[in-house]
Structure 1
Amino acid sequence: MKSTHRRRWAAAVAVTGAGALALGGSALPAVAIETQPAHVEDDAKEFGFLASLVEPLVSGPEALDQLAESALASVADRAGLTVERLTSYLEQDLARVSPNGFVTFVDEWEVTGHDHTLELDQASEVPGDPVNGSRPDASHTLFIDFDGHTIENTEWNKAYEVDTIEIGAYDVDDDFKYVVWERIAQDYAPFDVNVTISDPGPDALFKSSADDNSYGSHLLVVPDSSVLPPALQGTGGWAFVGGFGSEYLSPAFVMADVLQDNAAYIADAGSHEVGHNLGLDHHGIAGEEYYYEDTPAAPDALWGPIMGAAYTVPLSTWSDGGYADATNPGQDDIATILDRDSADHFATGLVDENGDPWTSGICPYLDGRLDEDFDGTLRPEHEVFEPDAQNECAFQQSGHDGAPLTVLWEYVDRTDRASDPHGDDPSDATSLDNSTGEFAEDGVIVSDGDVDVFSVLTDGGDFTATASPVGIGANLDVKLSLLDGEGNVLDEVEQETTVDPLGYPGDPAALGLDATIDAELEAGVYYVQVEGRGQGDPGDNTPSDGSGYTDYSSLGFYELTGAAEPFEADPVVITSPEDGAEVEADDLEVTGNAEAEATVTLTIDGETVGSVDVDAEGAWSTTLDDSLPYGESTITAQQTVGTIEVPETDSVTVTVPLEAPVIVKPEEGDTAATPTPTFSGTGIAGATVTITIECDGELVGETEVDDEGDWAFTPDEGLPNGDCTVVAVQSVGDTVSPSSDVVNFSVNVDEPGDEDGTEDGTEDGTDDGTEEGDEDGDDLPDTGSGNQLGLIAGLVLLAAGGALYARTRRAVV
């Protein structure tokens, strides 16, 4: 089904004018306004949004000629490039600048022709599926769109002067889609990104506020690039740099026809273009813009960077530029992708209440008052209105008659590293279930320092373990290690990786990415470690052969399988207390079952709180050594059979309730004769008591319970006359008790006469005006109760001065 995302601002992208109003953060574009804003300086105008920086349809050299020096610096900064690097790209026509200052690279690759045949039985599948995605619970989404799309109201439309771009569906079978999806999912396995071919809707793709953490990238597969504007044809793909999360900078394109309708090539180009959305530049070698651009890969070349043109090598991964003759050695791809500090925002326009573009003057307010320091730069915290009928702005937002305007903000951001499902050392190892004599576990290596550790308990004998990257297009080259119960390395294996000659060049694949360990073991606990590895020396790489790579991006999904004789022992079980039970703090008895004549150790938060020998019937019982703290505690039982500490444990969580404190004074219905009465009561020694007093407003205070179990609190500020209530809670650590009973009381304090003035006028001023000024911020003369004439004169002066001031505050245009 073809999808179309529409925005309220409709034709706003076509609006250009003589001036510009700055919208957004530092060095970000602003929306075009028909007349020159009062506070916008020339430099801001040059980078006005949507004021044009360059003409549409210009080449790189033409854009360089048209960009003012300050605008060139701003464009480079937003794209994460130096001015020198951007200038070089533009001079060679390797990059383009859109009218509003967004950068795209000209990804004009040449790929080797071949007969392509899909094979889906090369390895186990990656987690998930194309429809539901590789990580359905991820915060961010990469949507691979095979279904066609109508592109409108975007920077693409503005840059190439077309109202709409119609892209039809790419009519390929599910197997083809699966290969594209799986290869891209492999590249984004280390990140909190769900790769899917199902349209998740705009809420999951486009960031709507600085706090919105649900967004991503729309990757559109174009079946016939001839339907695109001529300037977009003939390339492998296009994407705006740093556009991740923005609908206005969407979609990213890959051209299926240019890429010879090859699923592997389309996937590589797709990961590359979304990499641009995530702020990445290119990786080349020896002066070539892309690794394997003009110099094709040798048949035995293993590796190339995703941000190069690594179509015909089996390992295309993220890079830190750490290879010989790198053109971009300063770019750490993974660090850039994870750089959430690069989150930014910009505005695409203003619309009125009818959703029509607004191109006239505005009245900007901050915290309910006219922003008198407005310098032409709107921020998300501004509230913006049309001028009133007299083309003026009221000082107070509440008194302004102009209709509200909506600023159309766009937000861009990066992503996060995926969570690591397995621990990195034996103390946090994942236990392998070999109760049937075999075991299997899935995992993912998410960083070059990630080592996934698994424990296995065996009765001894033959042992085997194999760790293999799953799916086609894997980036993970595995190193596998076996450790004894003390953590000593018994064996480690990493195969030599080579190119599968049958896959070159159309279906590149590597051999030897997996690793297997076979051993004869004594009974006991052992640990299996899985991690990524590198091979060769990247310093020896050449333009035609990138066979040296490190573990920097040897990342991705794997499966660990194997066999080990199960250790025969009854499991350790806690039978009492039950999970969730409320218990007394002292002398808690814990009972259970385990292997006969084993030893059971009880711990809380890693600290031993009890130990007991199991009887011949497999039963055990013991009383905890120490008192439990208030609140929840998790008791964990683990057994040792002979000299073997069995990894499997059992746990229960119990609660020692914390009673509410008691309020002794005041008693129900008491009347306080002082505005600062003392409240007192009883509680748990050492606890913190929080008292909430409600009269004409709320007052909250804290005090400690003394060693005798008593507490007292006297408020610093006086309580007003009238009815009041008081309630208290007590806390010990993170545990908070229920509330005490509410006590009703009153305050009745005789009030002396006002020696300094009357109810209508005091020494400091009247109810309507103070020494500091009136509610509108204008200074007033002293208006004590004895100066009625001065009061009237002051109000007259205020009215005259306020009117004069208001007439000078016209709408910002």
Structure 2
Amino acid sequence: MLVDTGMIDTPRTVRLQSPSILTALAFTLLLAAPALGAKYPAYVDGSFTFGDEFAEAPYGLESTFSLSSNPNATKTIYLDFTGFHSVGNSWGHNIVFPAYDLDGDSGSFSDEELIEIQQIFQNVAEDYIPFNVNVTTADPGATALRKLGDGDTHWGMRVVMTQATAGFGVGIGGDSGSSRFDDAADNPVFTFNKGARKGGLTASHEVGHTFGLAHDSYYDQEYHPGTGGYGRTSWGPLMGAPFDASITQWSNGDYAGSSNTFDDYSFITSKGFGFREDDYLNSLADPHLLESIDGEISEWGIIEERYDRDYFRFTTTTGEVSFDVNGFAQDPNIDVGVVIYDSLGEVVVELDPSVTPNINYDLFLTAGDYTFFVDGVDNPGRYSDYGSLGFYDIQIGLPIAGDLNSDGFVDTDDWLLLVAGAETDLSGLSAEEAFLAGDLNGDGLNDIYDFGLFKDAFTSAHGAAEFAALLAPEPAGLGLATAMVLMLAGYVRCGVRTN
């Protein structure tokens, strides 16, 4: 049973400068209450989609009762929002529970209700995404929820998302009774709490009891209320009542104040299913190759087990790389950590900010191949990496060749930086400083080779005529451009460098 302790969302925005670690330039953190839309993998009538993360109902209102997280799984968690006649089961009552209702009209679903149902689906799907089980809003039928003997391979649990009715459920957030995930009868659990976070957490919590899980306490409190206030790394265990926490996870009780050291995973995976198959290899030597489209890389994955690491490789030109790895935007389970290696296997940078579960950095990288892994990490003093599993989304923005000032364009401003750098001594500068002074190929010089690279980049963006105009400017700028060309020409004789 789960009590209703209320919930408060406090949005706030924080901007921080990154620690001075190797090549990290800066990262920006937006600490705010989640938007209504959230990117999350799902299946609508069997077809995969992320939905529209900018829409209030990311999968479309019409698809609300056609959502599944893992439709090929043989075990099911059915979120039943449509009403249920509970009779002839272990509860010993005969009650017709109405459909999920926010506006006093349980006879039809409003847009607000359909939107909230999709959000609840996403939250419960995130809690169970490491496992080979399907969370769904589509009615699979009672037979698919019952274990009908040793030969049966399909069973699961109905979660009745409803209101207190006929005196049952008054004053509580949910109840699991004696229901078990592998029962021979359709013995449901009940969720009475409302809201994306409270309703979703309660549903996951009550299903957790059907695996045999007990409450996660906090010192003398039966239900862990969550720690860390309302920040992005506030935390609580799913078998507690951390309604205000931004990160909720399965737990093994390895936190201060715990009296329950159950290994949640061993209980969950004892009812006929295990963890999902690993989506990416745990190998620095054999990473998944990422391809860019118009300078953008997009990928996603799941950290399925505690010691899972997903390895990826990408190629970049020299410049500023925007590097984002985000968990589920609404209520994540994973706290993301990333380590990036160069082509020699040496660590370039470790990214694990303590004030956000996400990775949002701008990095200066020289041209080459880079490998990185995504991992679920801890937050020392608050939570371990035990429960840091779940969905993550990778977005990498590669630099544009010739964009010396990293403003996203190759233009006259970059030409002026190239010209200015051609007249300076680049020795002793860092790779980043030398790049800003026109060293496009990372050889420590601003010479004719960099001039050629810039010419190619500028011409590709604007055409040969525009580049010619740079070399034949108005009289006021003639001296600078001419000096640039003559100076660069002095670096090369018969195609061989003279320095």
TM-score range (shorter-chain normalised) is: 0.5 to 0.7
Displacement over 6 Å in runs of 4+ = 113-116
Matched, 1:148 2:43: no
Shift of 1:519: 2.7
Partner in structure 2 of residue 202 of structure 1: 142
Partner in structure 2 of residue 334 of structure 1: 265
Question: Pairwise mapping of residues 603-642 of structure 1 onto structure 2 (< 5 A)?
Answer: none
Distance 1:444-1:299 versus aligned 2 partners, 3 A rule: closer
1:167 to 94, 97, 110: 97
Structure 1 spans left out of the alignment, 5+ residues:
1-105, 340-412, 498-510, 538-547, 568-813
Secondary structure of the residue aligned to 2:350 is strand
Higher mean C-alpha deviation, range 192-201 or range 266-275? 192-201
Structure with the bigger RCO (C-alpha within 8 Å, sep 6+) is 2
2:201 to 268, 271, 279: 268
Partner in structure 2 of residue 137 of structure 1: 72
Secondary structure of the residue aligned to 1:177 is helix
Partner in structure 1 of residue 183 of structure 2: 246
Matched, 1:487 2:345: yes
Q: Deviations over 1:330-383 (max 9, x none)?
A: x011121113xxxxxxxxxxxxxxxxxxxxxxxxxxxxxxxxxxxxxxxxxxxx
Shift of 1:137: 1.8
Asked if 2 retains the 8 angstrom alpha-carbon contact of 1:297 and 1:312, the reply is: no
Secondary structure of the residue aligned to 1:336 is helix
Task: Tell me how far apart the structure 2 counterparts of residues 559 and 435 of structure 1 sit (CA, whole Å).
Answer: 16
Q: Deviations over 1:593-627 (max 9, x none)?
A: xxxxxxxxxxxxxxxxxxxxxxxxxxxxxxxxxxx
Partner in structure 2 of residue 533 of structure 1: 377
Distance 1:191-1:111 versus aligned 2 partners, 3 A rule: same
Matched, 1:108 2:38: no
Shift of 1:457: 3.2
Distance 1:454-1:319 versus aligned 2 partners, 3 A rule: same
Asked if 1 retains the 8 angstrom alpha-carbon contact of 2:95 and 2:165, the reply is: no
Instruction: Name the aligned partner's letter for residue 212 of structure 2.
Output: G
Task: Tell me how far apart the structure 2 counterparts of residues 139 and 520 of structure 1 sit (CA, whole Å).
Answer: 45
Task: Tell me how far apart the structure 1 counterparts of residues 399 and 196 of structure 2 sit (CA, whole Å).
Answer: 43
Structure 2 spans left out of the alignment, 5+ residues:
12-32, 45-63, 102-108, 402-499
Partner in structure 1 of residue 363 of structure 2: 518
Asked if 2 retains the 8 angstrom alpha-carbon contact of 1:243 and 1:249, the reply is: no
Partner in structure 1 of residue 131 of structure 2: 191
1:124 to 16, 22, 39: 39
Asked if 2 retains the 8 angstrom alpha-carbon contact of 1:478 and 1:515, the reply is: no
Shift of 1:433: 1.0
Secondary structure of the residue aligned to 1:455 is strand
Task: Tell me how far apart the structure 1 counterparts of residues 294 and 7 of structure 2 sit (CA, whole Å).
Answer: 49
Partner in structure 1 of residue 306 of structure 2: 448
Asked if 2 retains the 8 angstrom alpha-carbon contact of 1:480 and 1:492, the reply is: yes
Shift of 1:250: 1.3
Distance 1:550-1:114 versus aligned 2 partners, 3 A rule: closer
Secondary structure of the residue aligned to 1:227 is coil
Task: Tell me how far apart the structure 1 counterparts of residues 319 and 10 of structure 2 sit (CA, whole Å).
Answer: 49
Partner in structure 2 of residue 287 of structure 1: 220
Task: Tell me how far apart the structure 2 counterparts of residues 489 and 176 of structure 1 sit (CA, whole Å).
Answer: 43
Task: Tell me how far apart the structure 2 counterparts of residues 478 and 311 of structure 1 sit (CA, whole Å).
Answer: 21
Matched, 1:312 2:237: no
Question: Pairwise mapping of residues 65-84 of structure 1 onto structure 2 (< 5 A)?
Answer: none
Asked if 2 retains the 8 angstrom alpha-carbon contact of 1:463 and 1:521, the reply is: no
Secondary structure of the residue aligned to 2:86 is strand
Asked if 1 retains the 8 angstrom alpha-carbon contact of 2:148 and 2:184, the reply is: no
1:418 to 276, 279, 283: 276
Shift of 1:468: 0.8
Question: Pairwise mapping of residues 581-600 of structure 1 onto structure 2 (< 5 A)?
Answer: none
2:390 to 556, 563, 568: 556
Asked if 2 retains the 8 angstrom alpha-carbon contact of 1:287 and 1:327, the reply is: no
Asked if 1 retains the 8 angstrom alpha-carbon contact of 2:146 and 2:186, the reply is: no
Instruction: Name the aligned partner's letter for residue 187 of structure 1.
Output: D
Using structure 2 for the length normalisation, give the TM-score. 0.64
Question: Pairwise mapping of residues 566-715 of structure 1 onto structure 2 (< 5 A)?
Answer: none
Distance 1:435-1:211 versus aligned 2 partners, 3 A rule: same
Asked if 2 retains the 8 angstrom alpha-carbon contact of 1:492 and 1:517, the reply is: no
Asked if 1 retains the 8 angstrom alpha-carbon contact of 2:90 and 2:179, the reply is: no
Partner in structure 1 of residue 288 of structure 2: 430
Task: Tell me how far apart the structure 1 counterparts of residues 68 and 82 of structure 2 sit (CA, whole Å).
Answer: 16
Task: Tell me how far apart the structure 2 counterparts of residues 561 and 474 of structure 1 sit (CA, whole Å).
Answer: 17
Distance 1:287-1:243 versus aligned 2 partners, 3 A rule: same
Secondary structure of the residue aligned to 1:185 is helix
Q: Deviations over 1:135-187 (max 9, x none)?
A: 22222211111100111211112xxxx3x221111135211111111111111
Secondary structure of the residue aligned to 2:393 is strand
Asked if 2 retains the 8 angstrom alpha-carbon contact of 1:463 and 1:518, the reply is: yes
Shift of 1:114: 9.0
Distance 1:209-1:488 versus aligned 2 partners, 3 A rule: farther
Asked if 1 retains the 8 angstrom alpha-carbon contact of 2:2 and 2:241, the reply is: no
Asked if 1 retains the 8 angstrom alpha-carbon contact of 2:5 and 2:243, the reply is: no
Using structure 1 for the length normalisation, give the TM-score. 0.40
Q: Deviations over 1:43-76 (max 9, x none)?
A: xxxxxxxxxxxxxxxxxxxxxxxxxxxxxxxxxx
Number of residue pairs matched by the alignment = 349
Partner in structure 2 of residue 323 of structure 1: 255
Distance 1:458-1:107 versus aligned 2 partners, 3 A rule: closer
Partner in structure 2 of residue 226 of structure 1: 165
Asked if 2 retains the 8 angstrom alpha-carbon contact of 1:107 and 1:238, the reply is: yes
Instruction: Name the aligned partner's letter for residue 549 of structure 1.
Output: Y
Shift of 1:121: 4.2
Partner in structure 2 of residue 88 of structure 1: none
Instruction: Name the aligned partner's letter for residue 234 of structure 1.
Output: G
Distance 1:241-1:303 versus aligned 2 partners, 3 A rule: farther
Asked if 2 retains the 8 angstrom alpha-carbon contact of 1:126 and 1:471, the reply is: no
Question: Pairwise mapping of residues 94-105 of structure 1 onto structure 2 (< 5 A)?
Answer: none
Shift of 1:262: 2.5
Distance 1:565-1:316 versus aligned 2 partners, 3 A rule: closer
Asked if 1 retains the 8 angstrom alpha-carbon contact of 2:338 and 2:372, the reply is: yes
